[in-house]
Amino acid sequence: MKIVCISQVYWPDTASVAQHLVDLLQALSDHGHDVTVITSRHNYEHPEIIYPAVEYCNGVRICRIFNTGFGKRTKLGRLADFLSFNVLIMCRLLALRRSACDVMLGLTSPPLLSYIGIKIARMKKIRFVYWTMDLQPELSMVAGYIKTDATPAKVMQKCGDYIFSHSDKIIVLDDYMKRHISERLHTDEMGIDVIPVWPVMTAVYEGGRMENPFRRENGFGDRIVIMYSGNHSVMHPLTTLLEAAVRLKEDKRFLFVHIGGGVRLQEVCEYKEKYRLDNILILPYQPREKIHLSLGSADIQVVSLGEGCVGFTHPNKIYGAMFIGKPVLYIGPDRSHITDILCHCLGNISVSHGDSDLLVRKIVAFAEMDESERSRVGIRNRRYAETYLHPDILLEKMIGSIESEPL
Question: Do 141 and 33 belong to one domain?
Answer: yes
Question: Do 342 and 375 belong to one domain?
Answer: yes
List Cβ neighbours of 407 (8 Å cut-off, separation of 6 or more).
190, 191
Q: Give 313's DSSP letter.
A: B
Query: Which of the residue ranges 76-85, 306-315, 398-407 would you say has the lowest mean pLDDT?
Result: 398-407
Give the C-alpha separation, 378 to 383, whole Å.
9
Question: Do 236 and 97 belong to one domain?
Answer: no
Give the C-alpha separation, 39 to 256, whole Å.
36
Q: Give 360's DSSP letter.
A: H
Helix (H) or strand (E) segment spanning residue 164: helix 151-166
Question: Do 224 and 145 belong to one domain?
Answer: no
Cis peptide before 137 (omega within 30 of 0): yes
Residue type for 306, please? Answer: G
- pLDDT for 13-29, tens place per residue? 888 899 999 999 999 99
Q: Is residue 203 part of a domain?
A: no
Where residue 111 falls among pLDDT bands split at 50, 70, 90? confident
Residue 407 has pLDDT above 60, yes or no: no
Q: Is residue 130 part of a domain?
A: yes
- Looking at residue 70, which CATH number applies to its domain? 3.40.50.2000
* Cα dihedral 208/209/210/213 (nearest 10): 80
Give the C-alpha separation, 160 to 157, whole Å.
5
Measure CA 322 to chain center: 15
User: Which SS3 state, helix, strand or coil, does residue 225 take?
Assistant: strand
Q: Is residue 207 part of a domain?
A: no
Question: Do 37 and 65 belong to one domain?
Answer: yes
- pLDDT for 46-81, tens place per residue? 899 999 999 999 999 999 999 999 987 888 998 999
How does DSSP assign 118-161, residue by residue? Answer: HHHHHHTT-EEEEE-SS-TTHHHHHHTSS-TTSHHHHHHHHHHH
Q: Is residue 266 part of a domain?
A: yes
Sign of the dihedral defined by the CA atoms of residues 129, 197, 5, 84, in that order: positive
* Residue 62 CB-half CA count within 13 A: 27
Question: Do 181 and 284 belong to one domain?
Answer: no
- pLDDT for 313-338, tens place per residue? 999 999 999 999 999 999 999 999 99
The predicted model scores a pTM of 0.91
Question: Do 180 and 223 belong to one domain?
Answer: no
The whole domain housing 150 covers: 2-198+391-403
> What total number of domains does the chain contain?
2
For the sheet containing 54-57, what is the strand order?
54-57, 60-65, 34-40, 2-6, 103-107, 127-131, 169-172, 192-194
Helix (H) or strand (E) segment spanning residue 55: strand 54-57
Q: Is residue 204 part of a domain?
A: no
- Residue 207 contacts residue 215 (beta carbons within 8 Å): no
Question: Do 123 and 151 belong to one domain?
Answer: yes
Where residue 175 falls among pLDDT bands split at 50, 70, 90? very high
Question: Do 172 and 277 belong to one domain?
Answer: no
User: Would you state the pLDDT for residue 155?
Assistant: 93
Give the C-alpha separation, 381 to 36, whole Å.
36
